[in-house]
Amino acid sequence: MTDQTPSDILNIELAREGELRTEWAEREMPVLRSIRDRFEREKPLTGMRIAGCLHITSETANLVTTLVAGGAEVTMCASNPLSTQDDVAAYLVTRGISTFAIKGEDAATYNSHITAALDNGPHMTMDDGADLVAELHTARTELLDGIIGGMEETTTGVIRLKALAGEGKLRFPVIAVNDSDTKHMFDNRYGTGQSTLDGIVRATNVLLTGKTIVTIGYGWCGRGFADRAKGMGAHTVVCEVDPVRALEAVMDGHRVMPMNEAAKIGDIFLTVTGGKHAVAGPHFDAMKDGAIVANSGHFNVEIDVDGLEQRSETKRQVRTFVEEYTLEDGRRINLLAEGRLVNLGAAEGHPSSVMDMSFANQALAAEYIIANRDTLSPDVHNLPKDLDAEIARIKLTSIGMPIDTLTEEQTEYLASWEMGTA
């Protein structure tokens, strides 16, 4: 660390632990490593200042060092008050990367860190939840003229950005990294599925086998979680508002019912809707004594914590990341990680091997924005399919599983209409 590296972290003395943690993660990130090697040679991000609002984890550290290898100047802040790995934050600062992130920071500190990350006058943003973009379009509008584009890697963030664009207020192009197949089909499903179960088990140490686990929301994250809960021997219930997704859940072997009914039978509840108050007051009224409630959606609005507070006579912390609320009738409801992302708050987030693809999308999106800065409109865009496919090919090659390619004859056949039934 140098005095010239602005930062706000817990303890710089943790840097060596963060370095080792980052090194361990890098072993499972061959796609990002190959991009870093190319960036080191070509320097496609030279002269670019990037402000990143992401979960400060060992996987993120590997993304940041990749961007720096490409010539970028990067400033980082946390995208959630509970998701920071303090040792990784310290390690980034020793690498000369301004980092503003402390695990457990309060709301005022969180907001000040967002402001600090933008003080570098970025050319690009890299968001997990669109907080940087929102700040730029409200409190920091003086910086907008210098922005050439941004990236967003969450479903929730993409929803916010499309709403902003729909009102005609989005001032620069944003790549919806979340919508790349190599992101949402793997990160959201396999990453969230495993890491959320990990967070619940670490926080509670409960046996999942035989429990009734209710998944609220059956998008990619919900699919991944419910499937893995079922694989652990749980009785799985899904609550959905989309009839097609609900039908899919039935076909996947889960019971489907309204939340009002599921509230009566569930032992563990997990929200992954991207919406507000998926678990609300009337649901708490119906829950069993000892019910466990957690969230893996990006923002802490999916569980009506205020409604739970209002119904409770007492609250106490019974384990690290477990708050026990005792209701007026004596029933106890256990809230995990304050209703924030349980997989990052109570565990370590997604495994490195899936973040490898997600962050490969982020790195390539930054390069794509620079190359297309004169033609991209101020809207939400997808990363081209050929880049998505290339990430998948590199991943397959890295794990020793090459695939077939079409012959010229097969390619010609698929592009023609003349040949029918012989």
* Confidence check: pLDDT of 2 > 80: no
* Confidence check: pLDDT of 422 > 80: no
* Confidence check: pLDDT of 101 > 90: yes
Q: Does residue 354 sit in the same domain as residue 286?
A: no
The count of other CB atoms within 10 Å of the CB of residue 360 is 31
**Mean pLDDT, residues 382-389:** 94
- Closest among 50, 63, 103 to 79, alpha carbons compared: 103
Q: Does residue 275 sit in the same domain as residue 168?
A: no
Domain that holds residue 59: 12-179+350-398
Q: Does residue 336 sit in the same domain as residue 354?
A: no
Q: Does residue 172 sit in the same domain as residue 207?
A: no
Q: Does residue 128 sit in the same domain as residue 92?
A: yes
For residue 394, is it within any domain? Answer: yes
Could you give the number of structural domains in the chain?
2
Q: Does residue 166 sit in the same domain as residue 278?
A: no
Q: Does residue 329 sit in the same domain as residue 209?
A: yes
Tell me if 133 sits within 8 A of 337, measured CB to CB.
Answer: no
Q: Does residue 199 sit in the same domain as residue 72?
A: no
d(CA 231, CA 46): 47
pLDDT cut 70: percent of the chain above it: 99
Chain segment 227-266, per-residue pLDDT in tens: 999 999 999 999 999 999 999 999 999 999 999 999 999 9
What per-residue confidence (pLDDT) applies to 421? 79
For residue 16, is it within any domain? Answer: yes
Which range, 284-288, 401-405, 418-422, is most confident? 284-288
- Closest among 349, 29, 334, 53 to 174, alpha carbons compared: 53
d(CA 352, CA 184): 15
* Confidence check: pLDDT of 35 > 60: yes
For residue 411, is it within any domain? Answer: no
SS3 content of the chain, % helix, strand, coil (to 5): 50, 15, 35
Q: Does residue 27 sit in the same domain as residue 82?
A: yes
Using pLDDT thresholds of 50, 70 and 90, give the confidence band for residue 298: confident
What per-residue confidence (pLDDT) applies to 165? 97
Domain boundary among 291, 314, 340: 340
**One-letter amino acid identity for 247?**
L
Provide CB contacts within 8 A for 101, sequence distance 6+: 8, 9, 56, 76, 77, 78, 84, 89, 113
Using pLDDT thresholds of 50, 70 and 90, give the confidence band for residue 3: low
For residue 377, is it within any domain? Answer: yes
Query: For the domain that residue 240 is a member of, what is the CATH number?
Result: 3.40.50.720
Residue 157 tokens read as: 């963030």
Mean pLDDT of the chain: 95
d(CA 26, CA 23): 5
What per-residue confidence (pLDDT) applies to 1? 42
d(CA 364, CA 67): 10
d(CA 408, CA 214): 50
- Closest among 1, 53, 4, 62 to 28, alpha carbons compared: 62
Q: Does residue 98 sit in the same domain as residue 140?
A: yes
For residue 413, is it within any domain? Answer: no
Residue 168 phi, psi (nearest 5): 70, 25
For residue 262, is it within any domain? Answer: yes
**Mean pLDDT, residues 45-72:** 98
**Mean pLDDT, residues 395-421:** 91
H-run or E-run covering 124: strand 124-127
Tell me if 132 sits within 8 A of 114, measured CB to CB.
Answer: yes
**One-letter amino acid identity for 244?**
V
d(CA 320, CA 199): 12
Tell me if 201 sits within 8 A of 178, measured CB to CB.
Answer: no
What per-residue confidence (pLDDT) applies to 411? 94
Domain boundary among 315, 340, 365: 340
Residue 91 tokens read as: 């390690």
Query: For the domain that residue 103 is a member of, what is the CATH number?
Result: 3.40.50.1480
For residue 4, is it within any domain? Answer: no
Between the alpha carbon of residue 281 and those of residues 197, 257, 259, 311, the distances in Å are 25, 18, 12, 8
d(CA 176, CA 365): 9
d(CA 250, CA 297): 22
Q: Does residue 245 sit in the same domain as residue 291?
A: yes
Q: Does residue 38 sit in the same domain as residue 147?
A: yes
For residue 275, is it within any domain? Answer: yes
Between the alpha carbon of residue 328 and those of residues 262, 265, 290, the distances in Å are 21, 20, 14
